[in-house]
Amino acid sequence: MTPAQDVFARLEQLNSIGASLSKEQDTDTLLERILIAAMELTRADGGSLYLMDEAADNLGFAILRNNSLELALGGTTGKPVELPPLPLRQPTGEPNDSMVAVWAVLHNETVNIGNAYTEAGFDFSGPKNFDQRTGYHSKSFLTIPMKDHEDQIIGVLQLINATDHLTHETVTFSKADQSLAESLASQAAIALTKRRLILQQEALFESFINVINGAIDEKSPYTGGHCQRVPELTMMLAEATTAHQEGPLASFEMTDRDRYELKIAGLLHDCGKITTPIHVVDKATKLQTIFDRIELVETRFELLKRDAEIQALRETLALRETKDAAAEAQIMVGCTQALATLAQEFDLLRHCNTGGESMSLQDQERVRQIGSTRTWRNRHQAVMPALSENEMENLTIKAGTLTGMERQEINHHIVATINMLEALPWPRHLSRVPEYAGGHHERMDGQGYPRGLKGADMSLQARMMAVADIFEALTASDRPYKQGMTLSKSLGILANFARNGHIDPELYEVFVRSGVYRQYGEKFLNATQLDEVDEARLLVQARAVT
């Protein structure tokens, strides 16, 4: 091969390398490929790649390779380069011009040295000590600063010991070597900068998401952890489904991009809660708004007690002239009974004010009776009902603490989530985020909200998030209106949901068989919630025909 043919062949190799570098997504692999490509292109026996640390004002080793010594550190090897960084300044503040890699940065120039052992002006004590330890002979050096699109130096590519392709002797890097290496360094810097910018954008985007979730946390400490736990549980279930090798879900796979898309959807699945009124989100009791209105009801009943006592005393005083002891005693008995009845009625109202899984029809009717028959007088002597219509509506809520209107306000958060997410200009690899995040309240049987989608209309990822959302809510111990359930009780409820068309039964089976529920429990739940689980019974329960 003639010299001209050799250069032409290496130019073609350079073009091929540049194209492959632009496609690399992993930073460690990218750095490794840059150095190896530069060594192959210039027939260098070894080399290092340094990255600029502007905050520390130094160059740090990222990759180190040496073919003769079969040495490979950094990159994808998992073996760190345990060498100290090169400071750009002396302790006195003077430029550290004695080190060739630093000199290339400070002067923004390539340095081509034929023989480090005879070169004057640079401190090669580091390579010489390396040679002494290993028996190697570091002779020729080609050191190239790597600059980004703003002409800022982001690193240094240093190649060692150019090898003649015919004699295999160590020679000086030729002008052609230098030109090709500089061209590669330029392309590599662009590829590295592109990757860094993408990572910075992702970090910025995730930070923005965390700001939103942080605002929800500040708004409601009771549901703040939910925004962090659901994404993690969703990813656990997704990985378990990927590893599942049986049944209808055996073919499910995820790429790294798929994982990232699902992660973002999980983090944003409840972003619409930022629009939900705080008194609805944190409604711990049925009468709670800005404060618990049971206190107002209690005040009215205290007034009713006072009025009963006053009435009894008035009637007693009216009998003073007749001195009818039996009548007075009867009045006091009646007063005592009236006070006891009032106390019982208020105790019932206080009990009903605490939300539960199901309020009996008898208690609901008793509350309505109290509200419609009991009256009190305000400071204007106007007769007022003991309970307002709104208070009776709240106190007779059958399950939980929310009225129908308040439940709609809570449910609206998913509509707000969808509207917020669909308004964003998502890139192609995140285009399904609105669908994943917006579908976690849909049901397999089409009775979910807001769109009433059926299982066939929902992505598997949205169905995963639905399972994670429900399980987190059942086991969460930071809600103001309930205690966190045990694993067995929560899984039993999920089994019923799988059977009646609420959640995907195939995903429920993966959830149970993979042990994801326990992995999650050990990380997030209290020890008292981690009870024994009869997985076989639960799986039968989930498949039973009703």
Lowest mean pLDDT among 197-206, 277-286, 358-367: 277-286
**Chain mean pLDDT for the chain:** 86
- Is 155 found in the same domain as 71? yes
Residue 413 included in any domain = no
Please state, as a whole number, how many other Cβ atoms lie within 10 Å of the Cβ of residue 93.
6
Question: Domain tally for the chain?
Answer: 3
Instruction: Enter the DSSP assignment of 145.
Output: E
- Is 303 found in the same domain as 276? no
d(CA 271, CA 419): 10
SS3 annotation, 38-57 = HHHHHCEEEEEEEEEECCCC
Domain carrying residue 11: 3-198
Query: Last residue of some domain: 401, 433, 463?
Result: 401
pLDDT at residue 546 is higher than 50: no
What's the mean pLDDT in 38-43? 90
pLDDT confidence band for 5 (50 / 70 / 90): low
CB half-sphere exposure, 233, CA atoms < 13 A: 32
Higher pLDDT, 189 or 287: 189
Tell me the pairing of strands 153-163 and 44-53. Answer: antiparallel
- Is 128 found in the same domain as 275? no
The CATH code of the domain that includes 132 is 3.30.450.40
pLDDT confidence band for 320 (50 / 70 / 90): low
- Is 302 found in the same domain as 384? yes
Cβ(145)–Cβ(110) below 8 Å:
yes
Please state, as a whole number, how many other Cβ atoms lie within 10 Å of the Cβ of residue 380.
6
Region label for 43, one of left (φ > 0), alpha (ψ between -120 and 50) or beta (otherwise): left
- Is 452 found in the same domain as 364? no
- State pLDDT tens for residues 375-409: 888 877 888 888 988 888 888 888 777 777 777 76
- To the question of pTM greater than 0.75 for the whole model, the response is no
What's the mean pLDDT in 499-523? 95
Residue 289 included in any domain = no
- State pLDDT tens for residues 192-204: 888 888 888 888 9
- Is 151 found in the same domain as 76? yes
d(CA 214, CA 470): 21
Q: In the beta sheet, which residues pair with residue 46?
A: 66, 160
pLDDT confidence band for 62 (50 / 70 / 90): very high
Q: What distances in angstroms separate CA 363 from CA 353, 394, 398, 431, one per listed residue?
A: 11, 13, 10, 50
Lowest mean pLDDT among 128-132, 203-207, 330-334: 330-334
Q: What is the percent of the chain where pLDDT is above 90?
A: 45
d(CA 439, CA 434): 8
- Is 331 found in the same domain as 259? no
Rounded to the nearest 10°, the torsion over CA 292, 294, 298, 300 is 100
- State pLDDT tens for residues 121-160: 898 988 999 999 999 999 999 999 999 888 889 999 999 9
DSSP 303-363: HHHHHHHHHHHHHHHHTTTTT-HHHHHHHHHHHHHHHHHHHHHHHHHHHHHB--S---HHH
What's the mean pLDDT in 68-83? 91
- Is 168 found in the same domain as 36? yes
- Is 191 found in the same domain as 57? yes
Query: Last residue of some domain: 168, 198, 228?
Result: 198
Query: Last residue of some domain: 401, 436, 460?
Result: 401
Higher pLDDT, 138 or 12: 138
Residue 387 included in any domain = yes
- Is 301 found in the same domain as 276? no
- Is 505 found in the same domain as 360? no
- Is 171 found in the same domain as 48? yes
